[in-house]
């Protein structure tokens, strides 16, 4: 370990004395290029609905999604991630709408592509928005079945690739789905499409507002503990990441974010691959609620929370704060 000269030869406060000095020695930087903006798409035209549990976040119709994707690109945000709010009448136990080429998510992806916006489109590969049972997988006799779900996810992934998605995000946590999706993409001529696997996705209490946003909370029967990770486990996360990389994942994700920064740091240090975290809906709602009550400086904690992800070694963050942060960083 390096030694430093004793006080007063060493005064560590010298380099903190002014903003320019602090900037010169700053170890971690945050830029708009580190951000992925999750967006919720709904049916309709030129309309939006606020998500009550996520102040400042709105579900948007496809035309407004396109407009916001254009704004994101102008701010230097490199990617948006689309999540659909599916009408209850389209939710079934077989989840057929998930791979309909004309479903809401695919129409939004295609609209961004047709608009010629220079931004990457990431999509969610999981069945919960389309599932009458609210689960990420198909339910048979009270059990979330793995292999039948993987077959459905492959069809869903191919439809998203055909619609023009750049990055597929399998968030379901079924065993074997990354390998199956990668093989299907290669066979169908979509070998250029990236996979960002939700490799270490925990069965967390921080997801509640998101389920409201996509309309899955009322449908959910039971919990997701048989397929999402136990929050007490760390070594298992490394095994999951290793498996997904071996099956063809190009990037990996840890979810949630702030409560699992130890996992994120371990993943990045161990594998040295593009690694991301999702600052999930509960994290966003928690910080926003405190700011709205005057208990915290909202802008300061927003930026500090995102610096923490970068300091942990991550390559980027999915965050609902993305447009606000990009505006601040752009001055």
Decide if 137 contacts 89 (C-beta within 8 A).
no
| 127 alpha-carbon distance from chain centroid | 16
Decide if 157 contacts 184 (C-beta within 8 A).
yes
91 tagged catalytic: no
For residue 242, the surrounding DSSP H or E stretch is: helix 235-247
The tally of CA atoms less than 13 A away on the side-chain side of residue 327 is: 7
- The structure tokens listed for 162 are 């055909």
Helix ranges, 3-96 (H):
19-24, 62-74
What CA–CA distance (Å, rounded) separates 26 from 194? Answer: 32
Decide if 280 contacts 204 (C-beta within 8 A).
yes
Angle at 231 between CA 227 and CA 237, to 5 degrees: 70
Candidates 201, 221, 224, 268; catalytic one? 201
225 tagged catalytic: no
What CA–CA distance (Å, rounded) separates 21 from 266? Answer: 31
Candidates 91, 224, 255, 268; catalytic one? 255
What CA–CA distance (Å, rounded) separates 131 from 91? Answer: 5
CA distances from 162 to 49, 99, 119, 281 (A): 28, 11, 17, 29
> Nearest-CA neighbor of 169 among 151, 149, 196, 199?
196
What CA–CA distance (Å, rounded) separates 143 from 222? Answer: 10
Task: List residues with catalytic annotation.
Answer: 201, 255
């Amino acid at each position: 370990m390096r030694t430093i000269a004793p006080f007063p030869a060493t005064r560590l406060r010298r380099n903190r004395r002014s903003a320019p000095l602090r900037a010169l020695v700053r170890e971690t930087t945050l830029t708009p290029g580190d951000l992925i903006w999750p967006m919720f798409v709904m049916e309709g035209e030129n309309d939006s609905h606020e998500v009550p549990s996520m102040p400042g976040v709105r579900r948007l119709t496809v035309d407004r999604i396109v407009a916001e994707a254009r704004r994101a690109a102008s701010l230097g945000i490199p990617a948006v991630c689309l999540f659909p709010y599916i009408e209850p009448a389209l939710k079934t136990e077989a989840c057929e709408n998930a791979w309909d080429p004309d479903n809401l998510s695919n129409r939004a992806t295609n609209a961004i592509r047709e608009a010629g916006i220079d931004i990457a489109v990431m999509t969610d590969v999981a069945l919960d928005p389309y599932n009458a049972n609210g689960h990420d997988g198909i339910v048979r006799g009270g059990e979330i079945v793995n292999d039948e779900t993987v077959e459905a996810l492959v069809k869903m992934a191919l439809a998203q690739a055909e619609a023009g998605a750049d990055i597929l995000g399998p968030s379901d946590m079924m065993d074997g789905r990354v390998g199956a999706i990668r093989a299907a993409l290669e066979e169908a001529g979509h070998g250029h499409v990236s996979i960002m696997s939700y490799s270490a996705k925990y069965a967390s209490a921080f997801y509640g507002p998101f389920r409201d946003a996509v309309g899955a909370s009322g449908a959910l029967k039971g919990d997701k503990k048989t397929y999402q990770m136990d929050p007490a486990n760390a070594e298992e996360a490394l095994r999951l990441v290793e498996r997904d990389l071996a099956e063809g994942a190009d990037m990996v994700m840890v979810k949630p974010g702030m409560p699992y920064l130890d996992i994120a740091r371990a993943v990045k240090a161990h594998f040295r691959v593009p690694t991301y975290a999702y600052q999930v809906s509960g994290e966003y709602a928690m910080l926003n609620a405190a700011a709205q009550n005057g208990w915290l400086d909202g802008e300061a904690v927003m930026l500090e929370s995102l610096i923490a992800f970068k300091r942990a070694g991550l390559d980027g963050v999915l965050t609902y704060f993305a447009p606000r942060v990009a505006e601040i960083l752009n001055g």
